[in-house]
Structure 1
């Protein structure tokens, strides 16, 4: 419980007896909650000097997680988010900066304020830690039957809601997560099905998406590339990829240029801001990774996608007709300048 919680801040004599209508907290309830806390911290191994056999302590890991998911936080905002003493956090940040994992940048609205971002090395260091955490959670859930898994997940929502967790997404909220095993099959299947149903594109398009997914997995560089799956209550609503752009002729990397690929949003999730969430995350990641611009290829018939790109500052730079997917189309190259 945080010290800012009214119950925690009250003196002992002001608790149950001062509010006659409130039932007393039973000793057995206190014992049960403390027992669960000891069980869970031991179960996750957070009492070890380093988390998940990494080179990071638990507080360092939390700082890395926050900056990986909330790019451009100030130290003050980070201290509030983690409920950490500013002096202690300052020492944590200094240690991570000395290891080349963080970088600071003056805030555009106030040059006196420094915004914190993970460096490319920081993202590369965080990726295996995040992956091990995911694997640990998968292993924990794999021991349970499907019905038990859902009961456990529902229980976490209940605990978070009762204790007022500020960063706990409410049931039904859209969240972004990195890709995991099995996602590429969904990406290929949904691209193939949706573009055939809505635009009449043939299997050549599905084959292209499959090749791009294979290429992404084989070349994946977590410091400079990412895939995000948007989901609600465990159901995928959309996805997007950001990769190193390459020359179509010789497949050589184009320095400083990222490529946004395979953006898709399920029909029943359109109009809910999922596309904006995915495209915005690409921009934040690209800036943090040091790219100077983002490029994408789309087609003129994808009107909603073109409006989305325009909203995020992309500009049309080239067009060319083609019939690669079995219908006559006009391909378009769009670019976003990050400098």
Structure 2
């Protein structure tokens, strides 16, 4: 392969993507860079201007103008960070989330239109080729924390949550199909009837594939949310995925007005329990039980969202 080969491919791919985006007015009324900033805000559980500058390699003045425009359009809110008053926390408003979702929908339609031109039998080749390009040009470096994306679930992701929970807990703890049934019921209840303003699922994605997940749902107690089904794939552990997923739930629950966040787990899940403790959860009750084919010790944990540090 020569330099000219790479440049020729770059021109070809740029023309394909550029023509597709232009024909669908993909980012209107925002520029590509503005849309990238909006995307980062929609997929990061918490962020500030310094985070955005680092992640997107943007000039401070240019980013400031973009954020001013977003604030004028009612897309974002800026508030001082409780951890460091010198830093400004940036969050999307409801209108901002709707706008980000619209741009994401357009992007999905655009990519879908592109894939529709590829015969079904050839799409696996395309996927393998794209993965090969990414692998070779990454210079063999291991995944980094910043390579992990938190996003909302897409088609098939809820089924993935059921499948991976069942497989992982069977492999690591010997739990039987009773656990898969429990997870399936939890996920089905969410899919069939949930309030998107008060309940949410996050998928952690690495290199285009899901590697973790968590849910936040309403609890029976007033003003209380429940964290459920925290999971991180073994090959992706060590990247802080569990911490980020739990932090995403905490931020979301606090922002929408919950007073308390609770969860139920078992003491054999020591890694998960350490994550909960780091984020301020307190053990409030525990009880032995026989479930999933094992003798277990169930635990109830609670976090006071008004007292928890941001």
TM class by shorter-chain length?
Answer: 0.7 to 0.9
Query: Are 2:149 and 1:176 aligned?
Result: yes
Q: Deviations over 1:51-95 (max 9, x none)?
A: 2xx765544422221222345444465356545565554444334
Aligned to 2:126: 148
**Displacement of 1:261 after TM fit?**
0.9
**Displacement of 1:285 after TM fit?**
4.0
Compared CA separation, residues 325 and 124, structure 1 to 2 (3 A):
farther
Compared CA separation, residues 157 and 141, structure 1 to 2 (3 A):
farther
Aligned to 2:301: 334
Q: Which has the higher contact order (CA 8 A, sep 6+)?
A: 2
Aligned to 1:37: 14
Aligned to 2:101: 127
Alignment RMSD, CA only?
3.7
Aligned to 1:20: none
Aligned to 1:319: 286
- The 8 Å contact of residues 239 and 265 in structure 1, kept in 2 or not, is answered as yes
Inter-partner Cα distance in structure 2 for 1:270 and 1:76: 26
**Displacement of 1:334 after TM fit?**
1.1
- The 8 Å contact of residues 286 and 300 in structure 2, kept in 1 or not, is answered as yes
User: Where in structure 2 are the equivalents of 1:227-238 lying within 5 Å?
Assistant: 227-238=201-212
**Displacement of 1:210 after TM fit?**
0.6
Structure 1 unaligned blocks of 5 or more: 1-24, 163-168, 249-253
Inter-partner Cα distance in structure 1 for 2:8 and 2:210: 39
**Displacement of 1:246 after TM fit?**
2.4
Compared CA separation, residues 229 and 70, structure 1 to 2 (3 A):
closer
Structure 2 unaligned blocks of 5 or more: none
Inter-partner Cα distance in structure 1 for 2:128 and 2:240: 27
Larger displacement relative to structure 2 (29-38 or 196-205):
29-38
Q: Deviations over 1:146-168 (max 9, x none)?
A: 11222134335667x59xxxxxx
1:108 aligns to what SS in structure 2?
coil
- The 8 Å contact of residues 286 and 299 in structure 2, kept in 1 or not, is answered as yes
User: Where in structure 2 are the equivalents of 1:59-70 lying within 5 Å?
Assistant: 59-70=33-44
- The 8 Å contact of residues 289 and 296 in structure 2, kept in 1 or not, is answered as yes
- The 8 Å contact of residues 265 and 298 in structure 2, kept in 1 or not, is answered as yes
Aligned to 2:263: 296
Q: Deviations over 1:125-175 (max 9, x none)?
A: 42343344245435534624311222134335667x59xxxxxx9664562
- The 8 Å contact of residues 120 and 289 in structure 1, kept in 2 or not, is answered as no
Aligned residues: 297
Inter-partner Cα distance in structure 2 for 1:133 and 1:171: 28
> If the length of structure 1 is used for normalisation, what is the TM-score?
0.70
Compared CA separation, residues 86 and 191, structure 1 to 2 (3 A):
closer
Pair member with larger Rg:
1
Compared CA separation, residues 36 and 73, structure 1 to 2 (3 A):
same
2:162 to 188, 199, 202: 188
1:323 aligns to what SS in structure 2?
strand
Inter-partner Cα distance in structure 1 for 2:161 and 2:47: 32
Inter-partner Cα distance in structure 2 for 1:201 and 1:38: 51
